[in-house]
Amino acid sequence: MKKSLSDMYLLGRKCLFCDRYGLYKLKDKRLKCKNCNKKYSIKKLKRDLEILYYFYLEISARRAANELKLNYKTVQSRFMDFRK
C-alpha cells in the first residue's frame, strides 16, 4: 500500500467507503461522509488500515494480531472482509 494513499484516508480527506471527497468532522471527532452518510472514527480507521497492510503483505491473521497487539478474532474478521 502506498503511504500517501493511507495518509489521505487517515487525514480524513477521502471516504473509505465510497472513495469520494466530502468528509466532515462530528463533535465526537468521528468523520461523516456527506456522500454515503457513513460515520467512522479515525482511530478505528487507522487500526483497520494497519490490519489491511498486513493483509496485503500476506501475513497471517494470527501474526498480524500478535504484532498489532489486537484480538485475533478482530483481525481474522477484518481479513475475511478484505477477501470479499
Residues near Zn ion, by CB under 5 A: 15, 17-18, 33, 35-36
Residue with cell 487517515: 10
d(C-alpha 12, C-alpha 54), whole Å: 21
Nearer to Zn ion, 36 or 70 (CB): 36
Looking up cell 490490519 gives 51
Of the pair 34, 43, the CB lying nearest Zn ion is at 34
Closer of 35 and 77 to Zn ion (Cβ):
35
The minimum distance between CB 34 and Zn ion, in angstroms, equals 8
* CA 32 – CA 23 distance, rounded (Å): 5
